[in-house]
Structure formats: structure tokens, C-alpha cells
Amino acid sequence: MKELTIRIPIRVFDYEELGADDRRLIDAAREATRRSYSPYSRFAVGAALRLLDGTFVSGSNQENAASPSGLCAERTTLFYANSRYPDQPVDTLAIAARNERGEFLAAPIPPCGACRQVMLETEKRYGREMRILLYGTQGIYEIQGVSGLLPLSFDASAMK
């Protein structure tokens, strides 16, 4: 038997340590939580991304009584960016969340599996890794590429 160990580097920043563009992106993700439609879970998630050309796009989770007909903030944001700006790769994606009391979470929230898969496909589509910022009041995680969230990923190359 062999054992495989996977190590994922995650840098942790305080908000003040981020550059101005990254703070603006985090602020946009935080603001997007206010546009969340989450009457069932009361868990408001916002995402914002910066395209390679500097364009910002944001979105929020949208729930539906006929679950799982809703959509996560990350996919809302990525799908809009991919359809509106089809020639622009995603440079950085930021994610923030508030609990049912309206408070931002202390620890950063990672994306769900479906969102990770869409993030991976977005990277494959543009042939470029996207940087990910996960916001928490006690620190912001920086992950260089979806492989840091989905190390044993499934994509089209697995079907060959």
C-alpha cells in the first residue's frame, strides 16, 4: 500500500493587509450578500469577481421553495460573467457569507461541491487559474486556483 498526501497552501490575510483592488473585491462580495434571496436557509452568500480586464461582477445566492431550484452565489456570478464577458477570464473570485442573524461569519466559508466544479470548468474554459479569496471576519483565505479547493478533480480529461 502507498499513501498519498495532498498539501494545499492557503495564505491568511487580515483585511488591511490586502491591496486596494482585493479590498474592493471583498467589499463587493460582502455587499452582494445584501441582495441574497434566502428566505428558507437565511444564509446569505455573496460573490464578486474581477475579470482579467479589471471588470467587476457580483452575485448572490437565490433560493426557491422547490429546492434545489435555487442557485449559489458563486455560480450566479460565474455564469453571468461567462455569458456577459465570454472572452474575459476570471482573475479573482471572492466569497462572503452572513448567518441568519445577519452577521458575517468569523471563519471563511468554502464553496459547495457544485460550485467548485463550475469554478474548475471556468478555469479549463479560459486555460487560466483563478485566485480565490474566502472572507471571514477573523481572516481572509487566499487560494491560488481551484485545485486548492478540489485537489482530485474531475474534468473532460478524465473521460479520455
Q: Which of 31, 63, 74, 142 is catalytic?
A: 74
17 is catalytic: no
**Contact indicator for 58, 28 with CB cutoff of 8 Å:** yes
Which residues are CB-neighbours of 44 under 8 A, at least 6 positions away? Answer: 33, 34, 36, 38, 60, 61, 97, 98, 102
User: Is the model's pTM score more than 0.85?
Assistant: yes
Strands of 106-150, DSSP E: 131-136, 139-144
Q: In degrees, to the nearest 5, what angle opens at C-alpha 130 toward C-alphas 138 and 13?
A: 20
What is the per-residue pLDDT across 128-157, written as a single tens digit (0 to 9) for each?
A: 999 999 999 999 999 999 999 998 888 777
N residues, the chain: 160
Q: What is the pLDDT of residue 59?
A: 98
Mean pLDDT of the chain: 95
Q: What domains appear along the chain, each with residue ranges and CATH number?
A: 11-143 (3.40.140.10)
